[in-house]
Amino acid sequence: MDLITWLRQRDGIAHRADALDAGFTVSRIRAAIRADAVRRIRARWIALHDAPSDLVHAAEAGGQLTCMSLARRRGWWVPPGAAEQVHVHLRPNAATPGIPVVAHWSASLGPSRPRRVLARTEDALAHAARCFPLDQAVAIWESAARVERVSIDSLRQVRWRDAVARRCAAHLRPGTDSSLETIFHVRLSAWGVRLRMQVRLAGHTVDFVIGTHLIVQVDGWSFHSSSADRTRDIAHDAALRMRGYTVLRFSYEQVINRWWEVEALIAEAIARGLHLGPS
């Protein structure tokens, strides 16, 4: 296998020590650099000219891709409107990066991996906890748990070093279907009212039950986009109302961008005692 093909199997970028371990000699690597087939990044990395720019930036900064940048690459949920800056994990004693990046200076929570351009999942989550408000950070954490198939219990067992990460771990709940539900749960959990998630009522699962009789459904577009989905939702809402429940349904747009409207309506419903059911 030639060096170009080998690099393409590794997202176009690799540590030079890995290339040597794969059997590519120093002379072959230097020849590829002189021929401009590959580029050298700092002293330790080699990359194709079309390698992903976020990975190249992390290597140029002397660190690893982390936080929101790793979330995008791994397919975790990212808050809408989040800036496109590259977030890089740097060791506490690392040199200041010579390029514009968002630097996260910290020791790794696990063993150091100097040959990796991607940060550990736990480190990236700790950085996200410091970068985002609690509700969004917890949504990122739960999304990462779903994508990476990491259990909530294992994340809670990590020895997180700062209070914001420990708060995120404490808010994690198994069984959430979407980041939208996570954001809603974190925001409402501070109200001090009884709040249950994923409760089965009238033959279907509802997103939230406040008190005993106030039901809240938060509709992510991917789960409620078809005519059949909408028909099913209307029928279920009617069945719930016939059983004495009050049903409030909110869209992604309302929860993410117009939260004050959602908050005011739920507060009004609670003030009227709709969460307690018929007397």
Does residue 71 belong to any structural domain of this protein?
yes
Q: How many Å separate Cα 241 from the centre of its chain?
A: 35
Instruction: Show the low-confidence residues of the chain (pLDDT under 50).
Output: 224
Which of 75, 202, 212 shows the shortest CA–CA distance to 144?
A: 75
Paired with 178 in beta bridges are none
Does residue 183 belong to any structural domain of this protein?
yes
Give the end-to-end CA distance of the chain in Å, rounded to a whole number: 76
Q: Give the pLDDT score at 37.
A: 94
Say if residue 93 is in the same domain as residue 186.
no
Rounded distance, CA 57 to CA 116, Å? 13
Does residue 279 belong to any structural domain of this protein?
no
Indicate the number of domains in the chain.
3
Task: Look up the domain containing 219 and give its range.
Answer: 179-271
Does residue 278 belong to any structural domain of this protein?
no
Say if residue 194 is in the same domain as residue 135.
no
Long-range contacts of 152-159 (CB under 8 A, 24+ apart): 155/122, 155/125, 158/109, 158/122, 159/109
E-assigned strands of the chain? 13-15, 39-41, 45-47, 64-65, 87-90, 102-105, 195-201, 204-210, 214-219, 246-251
Domain boundary, last residue among 171, 189, 217: 171
Q: Give the pLDDT score at 98.
A: 85
Say if residue 148 is in the same domain as residue 248.
no
Which of 171, 164, 163 shows the shortest CA–CA distance to 145?
A: 171
Q: Hunting for tokens 């004050």 — which residue is that?
A: 260
pTM for this prediction: 0.85
CATH number of the domain residue 202 falls in: 3.40.960.10
57 dihedral zone (left: phi>0; alpha: psi -120 to 50; beta):
alpha
Which of 251, 197, 254 shows the shortest CA–CA distance to 225?
A: 251
Q: Give the pLDDT score at 224.
A: 47
Per residue in 236-250, pLDDT (tens digit) is 989 999 999 999 999
Q: Give the pLDDT score at 225.
A: 56
Say if residue 162 is in the same domain as residue 76.
yes
Q: Give the pLDDT score at 114.
A: 87
Q: Give the pLDDT score at 121.
A: 96
Does residue 28 belong to any structural domain of this protein?
yes
Say if residue 193 is in the same domain as residue 250.
yes
